[in-house]
Amino acid sequence: MDRTTIENAALKLFHERGFDAVKVQDICAECGITKPTFYHYVPSKDDILLRYNEEALDTVEAHVAGTDPEGPVSQLLGAYLVLIDECERIGPDLLSRITCSNLQKNHGSYDTRPTIIERMEAIITAGQRSGAIGNAGDPHQLYLSSAYLYEGLQFMWCLKRGDFDWRAQLREGLTALWQVKA
């Protein structure tokens, strides 16, 4: 038994029944383990979702580490689209639960890794230098504004239970914010 097996079983049950309807004992039964074994690997049900967020950041970090042959705007937008893919995979109900858990106690789920921030700022700077990004503002502020735009759209997607085209809204918002040259 390992943590990944427990997390996968829990996520399956969360999707089938809803987070609140799944008890730790249900996860244990699904995995064929005892509660002490569960708690040896996982501190809580909420921790399973919080770790999911870390995995999503791993995906973004890998995306921004390289280069995009289509240019900096494509790479920046792609980083947010990777996050959207991950959010859609977990679904609005579980993503809402992550938000609620962070409102009760800041688990840092909305903190971006310094390596991602630095890389996003460098990509913005490259976009400004190439002329693809017309907004000559401070790259750090442009990054923060784009991140907050994304987070606001994520909230709306959760609030509307997935019935919201946040991909289109994100593209339009980032195009306006960055003053993308056509």
Query: Does 76 lie in the same domain as 147?
Result: yes
Query: Does 33 lie in the same domain as 58?
Result: no
Query: Does 149 lie in the same domain as 60?
Result: yes
pLDDT value, residue 109: 65
SS3 call for 163: coil
Query: Does 125 lie in the same domain as 113?
Result: yes
Query: Does 76 lie in the same domain as 5?
Result: no
Give the helix/strand (H/E) hosting 98. helix 92-104
- Regarding pTM above 0.95, the answer is no
Give the CATH number, domain containing residue 6: 1.10.10.60
Closest CA to 80 of 167, 181, 176: 167
Q: Domain tally for the chain?
A: 2
Query: Does 55 lie in the same domain as 25?
Result: no
**Structure token digits, residue 154:** 């994520």
How high is the mean pLDDT in each 10-residue block of the chain (182 residues)?
Answer: 93 93 97 96 89 82 88 94 91 88 75 88 96 97 96 95 95 97 72
Torsion region of 36: left, alpha or beta (phi above 0 gives left; psi -120 to 50 gives alpha): alpha
Query: Does 165 lie in the same domain as 134?
Result: yes
Query: Does 35 lie in the same domain as 51?
Result: no
C-alpha distance across the termini of the chain, in Å: 52
Query: Does 129 lie in the same domain as 99?
Result: yes
Query: Does 157 lie in the same domain as 141?
Result: yes
Query: Does 35 lie in the same domain as 23?
Result: yes
Give the CATH number, domain containing residue 66: 1.10.357
pLDDT value, residue 123: 96
Query: Does 93 lie in the same domain as 23?
Result: no
pLDDT value, residue 108: 67
Residue ranges making up the domain that contains 119: 45-178
